[in-house]
Amino acid sequence: MTTRRCTFATMARAVMPGVVVTGVVVTGLLVGVGPVAGAAGSARSPASVGPSTVSAPRPTDVLTAGSKGPKGPAISLDWAGYAVTGTALTSAAGSWTQPAAHCTGTKASQSAFWVGVDGYASTDPTVQQIGTDADCTKGTRKVPSAPRYYAWYELYPDAIVPLDTANHPVAQGDSLSASVVGSGSSFTLTLTDAGRWTFSSVQVTAVTPMDASAEWIAEAPSSCKGTKCTAVSLTDFGSVTFSGISAGGQPVDAATLGNHQITMTKNKKGTIVKASTSALTGGSGFTVTWVRL
């Protein structure tokens, strides 16, 4: 079984522990970082989620008609937040405060918070994204589940690349700002933990991007066995507010963009909500609230 970070139309997140990552650091810019070709690694379940996790993304079945009908929010089995659609959307930016992972009992769970470009349409083959996780490790009767936080980036269909926690630590309450800026098939992914560190990586997509959407998402990564994928338990993160969000330098409610409110549900009918998304505030912010695992 593997776990995967997903796009809106197909669940995915292939997890491989122990993947070696290399790169050249030049004045704070990590260029061409990626897994070493042929590095050993085997799939693992969400039970041992952590900074050594490497995965591949893909949004799930986002249904255009939400639980409130065609005019209601879109529903997804693993995304909550907002997406905008348009033409030549090559950049997205936004900020959030790292939520706390509320871990109880022994159950493992995951939650991811990110800014990205592409991936909303079912025909879109790529997602360029950068963000953080607030996960709960699998516990035992003697050792309860515990919080784990880390940052990562991903260019689907390539594997997720976690940032090393020694140089890029993430903690509850950290103020984070992210941006994804594209030029052709080249993307600059930047994540700043205010007052602590800034990471910036220039990457080239394996597939030509559509430049058709931008997203600000709280996600429940998916667990896959073969080609069958289901969203994992969503860590109780309380709530997370995305602020200062923009796409192509425009506010999300710009007349030139189509904006899509997304609710995460446990079923395709949208009757069992996992995470709800508020209305936009001033065209530049919203809040996602955890409801259930």
Token pair for 154:
């991903």
Determine the structural domain holding residue 74 and report its residue range: 2-290
Examine the pLDDT at 127 and tell me if it is beyond 90.
yes
Task: State pLDDT tens for residues 252-267.
Answer: 999 999 999 999 999 8
pTM value is: 0.81
The tens digit of pLDDT for each residue in 184-199 reads 999 999 999 999 999 9
DSSP-assigned states of every residue in 117-162: ES--STT---EEEEEEEEEE----SSS---EEEEEEEEEETSPPEE
Identify the band that residue 6 occupies on the pLDDT scale cut at 50, 70 and 90.
Answer: low
Tokens found for residue 77: 């089995």
Give the model's pLDDT for residue 225.
76
Q: Lowest mean pLDDT of 43-47, 130-134, 216-220, 280-284, name the range.
A: 43-47
Residue with more model confidence, 250 or 16:
250
Q: Residue 132, Cβ neighbours under 10 Å: how many? A: 24
State the pLDDT confidence band at 12, using cuts at 50, 70 and 90.
very low
Burial environment of residue 123 by CB neighbours within 10 A (0 to 12, 13 to 18, 19 or more): exposed
Residue 252: give its domain's CATH number: 2.60.120.700
pLDDT digits (tens, 9 = 90+) for 34-64: 332 222 222 222 233 333 333 333 444 454 4
Centre a 10 Å sphere on the Cβ of residue 226 and count the other Cβ atoms it contains.
7
User: What is the count of structural domains for the chain?
Assistant: 1
C-alpha 245/C-alpha 214 separation (Å) is 10
> Mean of the pLDDT values across residues 121-132?
93
Query: Would you state the pLDDT for residue 182?
Result: 98
